[in-house]
Structure 1
Protein backbone atom coordinates (compact mmCIF):
# COMPACT_ATOMS: atom_id res chain seq x y z
CA UNK A 1 0.00 0.00 0.00
CA UNK A 2 1.29 3.42 -1.04
CA UNK A 3 -0.18 6.91 -1.11
CA UNK A 4 0.69 8.74 -4.34
CA UNK A 5 0.23 12.52 -4.45
CA UNK A 6 0.09 14.51 -7.68
CA UNK A 7 2.05 17.17 -5.82
CA UNK A 8 2.69 20.12 -8.14
CA UNK A 9 -0.40 22.12 -7.15
CA UNK A 10 -1.69 19.95 -4.31
CA UNK A 11 -2.81 22.02 -1.29
CA UNK A 12 -2.87 19.04 1.11
CA UNK A 13 0.66 17.61 0.91
CA UNK A 14 1.36 18.21 4.61
CA UNK A 15 -1.96 16.66 5.60
CA UNK A 16 -1.30 13.61 3.44
CA UNK A 17 2.12 13.19 5.04
CA UNK A 18 0.66 13.44 8.53
CA UNK A 19 -1.99 10.76 7.92
CA UNK A 20 0.34 8.44 6.00
CA UNK A 21 2.93 8.70 8.78
CA UNK A 22 0.32 7.88 11.44
CA UNK A 23 -0.58 4.73 9.46
CA UNK A 24 3.10 3.98 8.65
CA UNK A 25 2.33 3.96 4.92
CA UNK A 26 4.82 5.13 2.28
CA UNK A 27 3.93 8.47 0.69
CA UNK A 28 5.24 9.39 -2.76
CA UNK A 29 5.10 13.07 -3.77
CA UNK A 30 5.41 13.30 -7.56
CA UNK A 31 6.19 16.66 -9.17
CA UNK A 32 8.15 18.47 -11.84
CA UNK A 33 10.39 19.87 -9.12
CA UNK A 34 10.44 22.75 -6.70
CA UNK A 35 9.21 20.86 -3.64
CA UNK A 36 11.05 21.06 -0.35
CA UNK A 37 12.36 17.60 0.61
CA UNK A 38 10.95 15.91 3.67
CA UNK A 39 13.11 14.40 6.41
CA UNK A 40 10.41 11.80 6.99
CA UNK A 41 11.75 8.35 5.98
CA UNK A 42 8.27 7.32 4.78
CA UNK A 43 8.17 10.16 2.23
CA UNK A 44 9.73 9.73 -1.19
CA UNK A 45 10.10 12.72 -3.49
CA UNK A 46 9.96 11.87 -7.18
CA UNK A 47 10.88 14.55 -9.69
CA UNK A 48 9.74 13.78 -13.21
CA UNK A 49 10.96 15.52 -16.39
CA UNK A 50 9.33 18.80 -17.41
CA UNK A 51 6.42 18.33 -19.74
CA UNK A 52 2.69 17.98 -19.78
CA UNK A 53 1.32 15.04 -17.83
CA UNK A 54 4.71 13.54 -16.88
CA UNK A 55 3.75 13.30 -13.19
CA UNK A 56 0.36 11.87 -14.15
CA UNK A 57 1.95 9.25 -16.37
CA UNK A 58 4.42 8.25 -13.62
CA UNK A 59 1.63 7.80 -11.05
CA UNK A 60 -0.73 6.00 -13.44
CA UNK A 61 1.97 3.46 -14.32
CA UNK A 62 2.39 2.50 -10.66
CA UNK A 63 -0.92 2.95 -8.83
CA UNK A 64 -3.11 -0.10 -8.39
CA UNK A 65 -5.24 -2.06 -5.94
CA UNK A 66 -4.49 -1.16 -2.32
CA UNK A 67 -3.00 2.22 -3.23
CA UNK A 68 -4.48 5.67 -2.65
CA UNK A 69 -3.97 8.49 -5.16
CA UNK A 70 -4.51 12.16 -4.32
CA UNK A 71 -5.14 14.29 -7.40
CA UNK A 72 -7.38 16.99 -8.84
CA UNK A 73 -6.53 15.83 -12.37
CA UNK A 74 -9.56 14.01 -13.77
CA UNK A 75 -7.82 12.05 -16.57
CA UNK A 76 -5.29 10.75 -14.02
CA UNK A 77 -8.09 9.96 -11.57
CA UNK A 78 -9.93 7.95 -14.23
CA UNK A 79 -6.81 5.94 -15.07
CA UNK A 80 -6.10 5.20 -11.41
CA UNK A 81 -9.69 4.19 -10.62
CA UNK A 82 -9.59 1.88 -13.63
CA UNK A 83 -6.35 0.35 -12.26
CA UNK A 84 -8.08 -0.37 -8.94
CA UNK A 85 -6.63 2.41 -6.76
CA UNK A 86 -8.70 4.54 -4.41
CA UNK A 87 -8.68 8.16 -5.59
CA UNK A 88 -9.30 11.29 -3.54
CA UNK A 89 -9.49 14.89 -4.66
CA UNK A 90 -7.76 17.40 -2.35
CA UNK A 91 -11.17 18.46 -1.01
CA UNK A 92 -11.83 14.90 0.19
CA UNK A 93 -14.19 13.87 -2.60
CA UNK A 94 -13.75 10.20 -3.45
CA UNK A 95 -13.65 9.33 -7.13
CA UNK A 96 -14.96 5.86 -7.92
CA UNK A 97 -16.15 3.78 -10.87
CA UNK A 98 -19.59 5.29 -10.18
CA UNK A 99 -18.63 8.96 -10.51
CA UNK A 100 -15.24 9.40 -12.19
CA UNK A 101 -16.60 9.41 -15.76
CA UNK A 102 -19.13 12.11 -14.81
CA UNK A 103 -16.34 14.19 -13.23
CA UNK A 104 -14.23 13.75 -16.37
CA UNK A 105 -17.14 14.80 -18.59
CA UNK A 106 -17.75 17.90 -16.42
CA UNK A 107 -14.07 18.82 -16.68
CA UNK A 108 -14.21 18.51 -20.47
CA UNK A 109 -17.39 20.60 -20.62
CA UNK A 110 -15.85 23.37 -18.51
CA UNK A 111 -12.73 23.34 -20.70
CA UNK A 112 -14.91 23.77 -23.79
CA UNK A 113 -16.90 26.59 -22.17
CA UNK A 114 -13.73 28.47 -21.21
CA UNK A 115 -12.35 28.03 -24.74
CA UNK A 116 -15.56 29.38 -26.26
CA UNK A 117 -15.61 32.47 -24.03
CA UNK A 118 -12.15 33.89 -23.26
CA UNK A 119 -13.70 36.22 -20.66
CA UNK A 120 -15.09 33.28 -18.67
CA UNK A 121 -12.30 32.63 -16.20
CA UNK A 122 -12.16 31.19 -12.71
CA UNK A 123 -15.53 30.52 -11.21
CA UNK A 124 -14.24 27.85 -8.87
CA UNK A 125 -14.62 28.22 -5.16
CA UNK A 126 -11.62 28.81 -2.94
CA UNK A 127 -9.99 26.01 -0.95
CA UNK A 128 -10.68 26.36 2.77
CA UNK A 129 -10.48 24.76 6.20
CA UNK A 130 -13.59 22.65 5.62
CA UNK A 131 -11.97 21.17 2.49
CA UNK A 132 -8.83 20.29 4.48
CA UNK A 133 -10.91 18.69 7.19
CA UNK A 134 -12.89 16.62 4.65
CA UNK A 135 -9.64 15.52 3.02
CA UNK A 136 -8.11 14.41 6.34
CA UNK A 137 -11.22 12.38 7.15
CA UNK A 138 -11.42 10.87 3.66
CA UNK A 139 -7.74 9.86 3.62
CA UNK A 140 -8.08 8.34 7.08
CA UNK A 141 -11.06 6.25 5.90
CA UNK A 142 -9.31 5.30 2.63
CA UNK A 143 -6.21 4.00 4.43
CA UNK A 144 -8.31 2.02 6.88
CA UNK A 145 -10.28 0.50 4.01
CA UNK A 146 -7.09 -0.35 2.09
CA UNK A 147 -5.76 -2.27 5.12
CA UNK A 148 -8.76 -4.60 5.03
Structure 2
Protein backbone atom coordinates (compact mmCIF):
# COMPACT_ATOMS: atom_id res chain seq x y z
CA UNK A 1 0.00 0.00 0.00
CA UNK A 2 1.48 3.34 -1.04
CA UNK A 3 0.66 7.03 -1.23
CA UNK A 4 2.08 8.81 -4.28
CA UNK A 5 2.27 12.57 -3.78
CA UNK A 6 2.39 15.11 -6.58
CA UNK A 7 4.54 17.42 -4.46
CA UNK A 8 4.14 20.62 -6.48
CA UNK A 9 2.04 23.01 -4.42
CA UNK A 10 0.87 20.24 -2.09
CA UNK A 11 -0.27 21.84 1.19
CA UNK A 12 -0.84 18.55 3.02
CA UNK A 13 2.51 16.75 2.88
CA UNK A 14 2.97 16.72 6.67
CA UNK A 15 -0.52 15.30 7.12
CA UNK A 16 0.20 12.59 4.56
CA UNK A 17 3.34 11.53 6.44
CA UNK A 18 1.44 11.24 9.75
CA UNK A 19 -1.56 9.33 8.40
CA UNK A 20 0.58 7.02 6.25
CA UNK A 21 2.82 6.17 9.20
CA UNK A 22 -0.21 5.24 11.28
CA UNK A 23 -1.33 2.85 8.51
CA UNK A 24 2.20 1.64 7.71
CA UNK A 25 1.83 2.84 4.12
CA UNK A 26 4.79 3.78 1.96
CA UNK A 27 4.96 7.38 0.72
CA UNK A 28 6.63 8.53 -2.48
CA UNK A 29 6.91 12.32 -2.76
CA UNK A 30 7.52 13.15 -6.41
CA UNK A 31 8.80 16.46 -7.78
CA UNK A 32 11.36 17.91 -10.15
CA UNK A 33 13.25 19.64 -7.34
CA UNK A 34 14.84 18.30 -4.17
CA UNK A 35 13.30 19.18 -0.81
CA UNK A 36 13.14 17.72 2.67
CA UNK A 37 11.11 14.69 3.57
CA UNK A 38 11.05 12.97 6.96
CA UNK A 39 13.75 10.42 7.60
CA UNK A 40 12.21 6.98 7.64
CA UNK A 41 12.06 3.71 5.82
CA UNK A 42 8.58 4.33 4.44
CA UNK A 43 9.03 7.86 3.04
CA UNK A 44 11.08 8.37 -0.11
CA UNK A 45 11.72 11.49 -2.14
CA UNK A 46 11.63 10.91 -5.90
CA UNK A 47 13.29 13.68 -7.91
CA UNK A 48 12.54 13.53 -11.63
CA UNK A 49 13.89 15.64 -14.49
CA UNK A 50 12.40 19.04 -15.15
CA UNK A 51 10.90 17.81 -18.41
CA UNK A 52 7.25 18.71 -18.93
CA UNK A 53 5.00 16.33 -16.94
CA UNK A 54 7.95 14.19 -15.74
CA UNK A 55 6.54 13.98 -12.19
CA UNK A 56 3.08 13.15 -13.54
CA UNK A 57 4.55 10.47 -15.80
CA UNK A 58 6.40 8.86 -12.87
CA UNK A 59 3.29 8.87 -10.69
CA UNK A 60 1.07 7.48 -13.46
CA UNK A 61 3.60 4.71 -14.17
CA UNK A 62 3.67 3.66 -10.50
CA UNK A 63 -0.05 4.05 -9.71
CA UNK A 64 -2.13 0.94 -9.27
CA UNK A 65 -4.92 -0.71 -7.29
CA UNK A 66 -3.13 -0.49 -3.92
CA UNK A 67 -2.09 3.16 -4.24
CA UNK A 68 -3.52 6.53 -3.34
CA UNK A 69 -2.46 9.43 -5.55
CA UNK A 70 -2.64 12.87 -3.95
CA UNK A 71 -2.84 15.61 -6.57
CA UNK A 72 -4.68 18.70 -7.65
CA UNK A 73 -3.88 17.96 -11.29
CA UNK A 74 -7.05 16.76 -13.02
CA UNK A 75 -5.28 15.16 -15.98
CA UNK A 76 -2.94 13.22 -13.68
CA UNK A 77 -5.99 12.18 -11.65
CA UNK A 78 -7.53 10.71 -14.79
CA UNK A 79 -4.37 8.77 -15.60
CA UNK A 80 -4.12 7.41 -12.05
CA UNK A 81 -7.77 6.36 -12.04
CA UNK A 82 -7.24 4.46 -15.30
CA UNK A 83 -4.36 2.63 -13.58
CA UNK A 84 -6.70 1.56 -10.78
CA UNK A 85 -5.49 3.97 -8.06
CA UNK A 86 -7.61 5.95 -5.65
CA UNK A 87 -7.15 9.70 -6.20
CA UNK A 88 -7.53 12.38 -3.56
CA UNK A 89 -7.41 16.16 -3.94
CA UNK A 90 -5.74 18.32 -1.30
CA UNK A 91 -9.13 19.42 0.04
CA UNK A 92 -10.24 15.84 0.71
CA UNK A 93 -12.47 15.38 -2.32
CA UNK A 94 -11.93 12.09 -4.08
CA UNK A 95 -11.88 11.78 -7.84
CA UNK A 96 -13.62 8.69 -9.14
CA UNK A 97 -14.77 7.26 -12.46
CA UNK A 98 -18.06 9.17 -12.19
CA UNK A 99 -16.51 12.58 -11.47
CA UNK A 100 -13.32 12.67 -13.53
CA UNK A 101 -14.98 13.15 -16.93
CA UNK A 102 -16.87 16.26 -15.86
CA UNK A 103 -13.78 17.60 -14.06
CA UNK A 104 -11.70 17.25 -17.24
CA UNK A 105 -14.45 18.87 -19.33
CA UNK A 106 -14.77 21.78 -16.88
CA UNK A 107 -11.00 22.24 -16.94
CA UNK A 108 -11.04 22.46 -20.75
CA UNK A 109 -13.92 24.95 -20.75
CA UNK A 110 -12.20 27.16 -18.19
CA UNK A 111 -8.95 27.08 -20.19
CA UNK A 112 -10.88 28.20 -23.29
CA UNK A 113 -12.56 31.00 -21.34
CA UNK A 114 -9.24 32.20 -19.94
CA UNK A 115 -7.68 32.13 -23.41
CA UNK A 116 -10.58 34.18 -24.76
CA UNK A 117 -10.05 36.82 -22.07
CA UNK A 118 -6.37 37.37 -22.84
CA UNK A 119 -5.70 41.01 -23.49
CA UNK A 120 -9.02 42.30 -22.19
CA UNK A 121 -8.73 45.27 -19.86
CA UNK A 122 -9.87 44.47 -16.38
CA UNK A 123 -10.02 40.73 -16.95
CA UNK A 124 -9.63 39.28 -13.50
CA UNK A 125 -7.83 36.05 -12.86
CA UNK A 126 -9.39 33.51 -10.61
CA UNK A 127 -8.21 30.36 -9.05
CA UNK A 128 -9.27 28.16 -6.24
CA UNK A 129 -10.26 29.59 -2.88
CA UNK A 130 -7.54 29.69 -0.22
CA UNK A 131 -6.75 26.39 1.49
CA UNK A 132 -8.62 26.26 4.80
CA UNK A 133 -8.57 24.38 8.10
CA UNK A 134 -11.77 22.65 6.98
CA UNK A 135 -10.00 21.50 3.78
CA UNK A 136 -7.16 20.09 5.88
CA UNK A 137 -9.61 18.28 8.15
CA UNK A 138 -11.55 16.85 5.19
CA UNK A 139 -8.29 15.67 3.65
CA UNK A 140 -7.18 13.91 6.84
CA UNK A 141 -10.51 12.12 7.17
CA UNK A 142 -10.58 11.08 3.52
CA UNK A 143 -7.00 9.78 3.46
CA UNK A 144 -7.59 7.81 6.64
CA UNK A 145 -10.82 6.33 5.23
CA UNK A 146 -9.14 5.32 1.96
CA UNK A 147 -6.12 3.74 3.67
CA UNK A 148 -8.41 1.76 5.98
CA UNK A 149 -10.33 0.50 2.94
CA UNK A 150 -7.13 -0.44 1.10
CA UNK A 151 -5.73 -2.26 4.14
CA UNK A 152 -8.88 -4.38 4.30
CA UNK A 153 -8.33 -5.45 0.68
CA UNK A 154 -4.98 -7.05 1.53
TM normalised by structure 1 equals 0.96
Aligned to 2:143: 139
1:16 maps to 2:16: yes
Bigger Cα displacement from structure 2, 32-41 vs 61-70: 32-41
Q: Can you give the 5+ residue segments of structure 2 that lack an aligned partner in the other structure?
A: none
**Aligned partners of 2:131, 2:17: CA distance in 1, in Å?**
19
After the TM superposition, which of the residue ranges 58-67 and 114-123 deviates more from structure 2? Answer: 114-123
Q: How far did residue 83 of structure 1 move? A: 1.0
| Contact map agreement 1:30 1:45 (CA 8 A) in 2 | yes
Deviation at 1:113, TM superposition (A): 1.1
- The C-alpha deviation readout for 1:29-54, integer Å capped at 9, x for no partner, is 00011421321221000000002211
TM-score, normalised by the number of residues in structure 2: 0.92
Q: Quote the offset at 1:107 in angstroms.
A: 1.2
1:20 Cα deviation from its structure 2 partner: 0.3
Residue in 1 that maps onto 2:55: 55
Residue equivalent to 2:25: 25
CA contact 1:114–1:120 (8 Å) conserved in 2: no
SS of residue in 2 equivalent to 1:36: coil
SS of alignment partner, residue 30 of structure 1: strand
Helix, strand or coil at the partner of 2:98: coil
Corresponding residue number in structure 1 for 2:84: 84
In the alignment, structure 1 segments of 5+ residues that lack a partner are none
Partner of 2:111: 111
Question: What's the counterpart of residue 42 of structure 2?
Answer: 42
- CA RMSD across the alignment: 1.0
Contact 1:92 1:137 in 2 (8 A): yes
* 4+ residue segments displaced more than 3 Å: none
Instruction: Indicate the structure (1 or 2) with the bigger Cα radius of gyration.
Output: 2
Question: Aligned partners of 1:35 and 1:115: how far apart in 2?
Answer: 33
Q: Distance in 2 between matches of 1:52 and 1:114?
A: 21
